């Protein structure tokens, strides 16, 4: 169901490009919603609605692991006369950490269901609405490349996103739709609060020795959405202050 706040002025002009943003109610997604609103007609879909809506953003409730998220977005766009979107940014995800041999099967299955199967499910349900020359930006994690202990299931779920993006880029390239991935390092959001104790070690491993902020990920996403990235696809950009250098 649409949120009551922030929707009345969401469609300033039919000429404004449309963007669908998952997980836009908190963390990096919320930062992106606030930054992109106005330049894009942003529709956020999330399991939970934000306490404070960004003016001009349409908020919808939906679960990416179920068909209702894509269906709700499609119906909302159609009601507003939108037959296509120019961009999808998929931020929604969850985290769970601990020794893999002690992790209950239900916990790692939930990680795979949301982070990997949820990605496949939502993109499959929405990709046909992306206009030729459009943009799809997915989120993985620098954990895939660092592969620390106690993150096996999470790393596996996020590694799958990278493989998916590379293959999907090949499928959609004929329509000049780009598919790229942002892989953040550790940043303190509701998703990563359980890892706060490791923040100091992460900072010390970085070439740029400071804590990450949500704003650090807005520029990379903007690049992947921009005309300047039209010949960049199937790529993963690690944004972690140089902790991983490759």
All structural domains of the chain, each given as residue ranges with its CATH number in brackets, are 18-239 (3.40.50.720)
- pLDDT confidence of residue 14: 78
- Over range 16-36, report the average pLDDT: 96
DSSP assignment of the chain equals -B-SSS-TTS-S-TTSPEEEEETTTSHHHHHHHHHHBTTBEEEEEESS--SSPPTT-EEEE--TTSHHHHHHHHHHHHHTT---EEEEEE-------S-GGGS-HHHHHHHIIIIIIHHHHHHHHHGGGEEEEEEEEEE--THHHH--TT-HHHHHHHHHHHHHHHHHHHHHGGGT-EEEEEEE----SGGGGGGGGGHHHHHHHSSS-S---GGGGHHHHHHHHSGGGTT--S-EEEESTTSS--
Q: Which residues are catalytic?
A: 154
- pLDDT confidence of residue 1: 36
pTM for the predicted model, two decimal places: 0.91
- Over range 89-108, report the average pLDDT: 96
- pLDDT confidence of residue 224: 98
- pLDDT confidence of residue 188: 59
pLDDT of 207 > 80? The answer is: yes
- pLDDT confidence of residue 197: 55
Q: Tokens 């990096």 belong to which residue?
A: 28
Q: Tokens 């000429």 belong to which residue?
A: 15
């Amino acid at each position: 169901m649409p949120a009551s706040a922030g929707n009345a002025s969401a469609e300033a002009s039919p000429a404004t490009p449309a963007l669908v943003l998952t997980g836009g109610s908190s963390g990096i997604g919320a930062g992106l919603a606030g930054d992109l609103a106005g330049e894009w007609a942003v529709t956020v879909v999330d399991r939970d609605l934000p306490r404070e809506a960004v003016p001009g953003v349409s908020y919808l409730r939906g679960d990416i692991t179920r068909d209702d998220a894509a269906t709700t977005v499609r119906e909302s766009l159609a009601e507003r006369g939108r037959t296509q979107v120019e961009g999808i940014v998929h931020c929604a995800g969850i985290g769970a950490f601990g020794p893999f041999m002690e992790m209950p099967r239900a916990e790692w299955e939930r990680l795979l269901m949301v982070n990997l199967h949820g990605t496949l499910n939502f993109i499959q349900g929405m990709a046909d609405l992306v206009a030729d020359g459009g943009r799809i930006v997915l989120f993985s994690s620098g954990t895939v490349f660092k592969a620390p202990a106690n993150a096996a299931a999470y790393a596996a779920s996020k590694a799958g996103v990278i493989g998916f993006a590379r293959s999907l880029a090949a499928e959609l390239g004929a329509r000049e739709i780009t598919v790229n991935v942002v892989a953040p390092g550790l940043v303190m959001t509701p998703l990563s609060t359980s890892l706060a104790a490791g923040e100091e070690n992460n900072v010390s491993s970085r070439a740029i020795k400071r804590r990450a902020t949500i704003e650090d990920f807005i520029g990379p996403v903007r690049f992947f959405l921009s005309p300047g990235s039209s010949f960049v696809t199937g790529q993963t950009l690690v944004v972690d202050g140089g902790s991983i250098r490759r």
